[in-house]
Structure 1
Amino acid sequence: MAIVVVGQFRLPAERMEEARPMMRKVMEATRAEAGCIEYNYAEDVLDPGLIRVSEVWETRAQLTAHLKTPHMAVWGEERAGLGLTGRNITVFEADAGTTL
Structure 2
Amino acid sequence: MGMMLVFVLILASFLGFELISKVPAQLHTPLMSGSNAISGITVVGAILSLAGTFVAGGEGVRIVLGTLAVFFATINVVGGYMVTDRMLSMFGSKEDSQ
More strand by percentage:
1
Name the structure where helix makes up a greater proportion of residues. 2
Return the index of the structure with the highest Cα Rg. 2
Give the number of the structure with larger relative contact order, counting CA–CA contacts within 8 Å between residues 6 or more apart.
Answer: 1
